[in-house]
Structure 1
Amino acid sequence: MTGLMGEIATTRVEKGSLALWFLGQNGWMIKSPAGHVLAVDPYLSNSCHPSRRGLDLDRRVPVLVAPEELRADLLLCSHSHKDHADPDTLCGCARSGRVKAFAGPGDTQAVLAAASVAESDRILTWPNHQIALGDLTVTGTFALPTDAGDLTHMGFVIEGDGGPKVWITGDTAWCDLLAEAGAKHSPDAICLPINGGYANLSHWEAAELVRRVGPAQAIPCHWDMFADNSCSPHMFEASLKVKEVKDVYRLPVHGQKMLIEVR
């Protein structure tokens, strides 16, 4: 095994921490101290291009893992949009047999079925539902849908046994309930969209969510993949400064390991 998957396979994660790798858009790989691996919203193709609306959705981030090479104990899809539940990626993962289980909310289930993921390997999940995986617990979280095409958006809090909690919000519009529902988990880190396009959180709204929830680390995502749905992460950093939220900003680098520890 070579490349990023080889690095993930050989990485040892110390107790009290989680290792994250950013794949681009809202794609993440996560590894626990016991060696369990999660994939979240891996977009590993160029299936959004060409856009039926004429937008520039040609991917700008290299594919760091081929779908057939992705290995995970669990693959999570936050909703059914193609850059989150990518048919090409899911088909490759289903063919390889290297992903043991797939989970997501209601509208993702049809995408998983169409990608030939066996019914026995599909898990339906929803906000407040929990999935146990060795030393990891995945808890579904509330997200406000960004369009009427999929009304089952959600996020995930991923918690290590005695270790940190990472909240991956998924695509979500702003509402007070988002902050209230997120704060009850007391996450150590938040990975959240900042692009603001097409009803997602703007960099200003994302900074307000961080201010209200109070994590030790705020990691922007969903800003990098498409020219016509992007935002400079510097604007998120600036918004945090304006809101006087200090020392939490952390910029992810594609394919580079990040360690998340208990605050």
Structure 2
Amino acid sequence: MRFQIPFGGRLLRALLAVAALCTAAAAFAQGGKTEILWLGQATTRITTPGGKVIVIDPWLTSNPKTPAAFKNLAALGKVDLILVTHAHFDHFADAPALAKMNNAAVWGPAGLNDSIVKLGILPVELSPRFGKGGTIALFGPGGVKITAVHAEHSSELTWKNPATGKDEIHVGGEPVGFILEMENGFKIWHMGDTAVFGDMRLIGDMYRPDLVLIPIGGHFVMNPRDAAMAVRDLIRPKYALPIHYGTTPQLAGTPAEFNAALGTAPGTARMLVVDPGQKVEF
């Protein structure tokens, strides 16, 4: 006697095939690499082990440190998600254009995103809101998780009123940093712009980042000595990649100064230095 699988059996086979594909995708994400491309100031493109592309603090077209090839936003390739740590021009400038080009949402401080919508810079579907302590997981189960954490800075949004041609200052929300947990568990803390604050230790203990992208330029953010103390004594990651330096004369701190202040005691984070346009992989 021949046994025939009814429609329900065909449906079961289809479901099993989908489950197998999901398992294969999860295995790829677990075994893949995290790629960090730094493009000057705080602008960073992260490609996750699962192939998602996240751009943080996009300032490219007028950034003097951005390589010429990347002054064309299309050179970034397909972007799945945009993160903005605060409203200042050198972190937000190209976010609206990049969002429209890729139909990719800009996630940032709730107050900033509210202003973005109210001023008509982006529609609400491209400017969702969340805040410090909130976690978003936008790429399904097992995908990247992103948590907004404290940063010690300011966040004013400068907007040119098209009716008057004059610049206006609007609410930019409170500045944040982002903890990004990759599909394979690797964790990155993009600190945005910040001074040292005591709860860096708490954030380090809670999330245990493997890599911190840390500002070292001074004047508006930590100088190399302060950044080294934060990494060595408060956060204690495996790796530290200095950002937000050398773009203007005020941002005079250097990676060499940061590395010297960091020291070589056992357990101290390894400093990674890349020039704008260079990548590191983990």
TM over 0.5: yes
Pick aligned residue for 1:104 from 99, 104, 108: 108
User: Greater helix percent: which structure?
Assistant: 2
Q: 1:148 to 1:84 in 2, by over 3 A?
A: closer
- Tell me the equivalent position of 1:233: 255
Query: 1:2-151 residue pairs with structure 2 within 5 A?
Result: 15=31, 17-46=33-62, 59-63=64-68, 64-70=70-76, 71-86=78-93, 89-96=94-101, 98-109=102-113, 112-113=116-117, 114=119, 116-134=121-139, 135-146=143-154
**Partner AA of 2:84 in structure 1:** C
Aligned-partner SS, 1:173:
coil
Q: CA deviation at 1:68?
A: 4.9
- Tell me the equivalent position of 1:9: none
Please list every run of 5 or more consecutive structure 2 residues that lacks an aligned counterpart in the other structure.
1-27, 158-171
Distance in 2 between residues matched to 1:148 and 1:111, nearest whole Å: 11
Aligned-partner SS, 1:44:
coil
- Identify the range of structure 1 (174-183 vs 146-155) with the bigger mean alpha-carbon deviation: 146-155
Q: 1:152 to 1:92 in 2, by over 3 A?
A: same
Kindly name which structure, 1 or 2, has the bigger radius of gyration based on alpha carbons: 2
TM value normalised by structure 1: 0.79
- Identify the range of structure 1 (77-86 vs 137-146) with the bigger mean alpha-carbon deviation: 137-146
Distance in 2 between residues matched to 1:60 and 1:34, nearest whole Å: 29
Say if 1:188 and 1:217, in contact at 8 Å, map to a contact too. yes
Please list every run of 5 or more consecutive structure 1 residues that lacks an aligned counterpart in the other structure.
1-11, 47-57
Aligned-partner SS, 1:237:
helix
The sequence identity of aligned pairs, in percent, is 26
Distance in 2 between residues matched to 1:107 and 1:192, nearest whole Å: 24
TM value normalised by structure 2: 0.74
Higher relative contact order (CA 8 A, sep 6+): 1
